Amino acid sequence: MLASEPSSAPALWAWPIRPSPAVVRPFSPPASPWVPGHRGVDLDAAPGQAVYAAARGRVSFAGRIAGYGVVAITHGALRTTYLPVEPAVHVGQAVTSATGIGTVQPFLGHCGHRHCLHWGVLRGTQYVDPLALLSLRLRLLPFWPGSDDGLISLWAGGRRPVA
């Protein structure tokens, strides 16, 4: 691997808007590449709000497309895109999920009458759901044979409920 390429090690993914934002519009890929669809997620955001890289990578684009600020970051086989963002990074810059890459621009339209950040992820030429990259921290609880209907019950205080 060249020193200028991002590591191929698994990335730790984080929300690009913090704290965790509301999803205004979910991923809704089209049935075919040439038909309309929503190729990312829209996250609730305020104009001027900081935008962060979703994971470690290298900035592959930072500029304007059709008047909107856009940042793209390459993470090995994946590439994330963020818009509308006033870029605070430059092409070739290494970033982590702690790196501020810009701020949300005050453009309305994509999300109707509210502001949002559009976050997209591509694997090659195929769009994937960005939310699938976020690690959901699940905790498995032990199973006690003979418990009610064989299902695990949740309880407060870390103790098994007494029947």
The residue among 138, 136, 134, 106 whose CA lies nearest residue 119 is 134
Beta strands in the chain (DSSP E): 23-25, 41-44, 50-52, 57-65, 68-75, 78-83, 85-87, 94-95, 100-104, 116-123, 126-128
The residue among 150, 41, 138, 59 whose CA lies nearest residue 100 is 59
Contact 105, 56 (CB under 8 A): no
pTM: predicted TM-score of the whole model, two decimal places: 0.75
Q: What mean pLDDT value characterizes the chain?
A: 81
As a whole number of angstroms, the distance between CA 20 and CA 117 comes to: 12
Tell me if residue 157 falls in helix, strand or coil: helix
> Where exactly are the structural domains of the chain?
23-138
CATH architecture of 23-138: Distorted Sandwich (2.70)
With tokens 């999920």, the residue in question is 97
pLDDT 10s digits, 25-74: 999 888 888 888 789 999 999 999 999 999 999 999 999 999 999 999 99
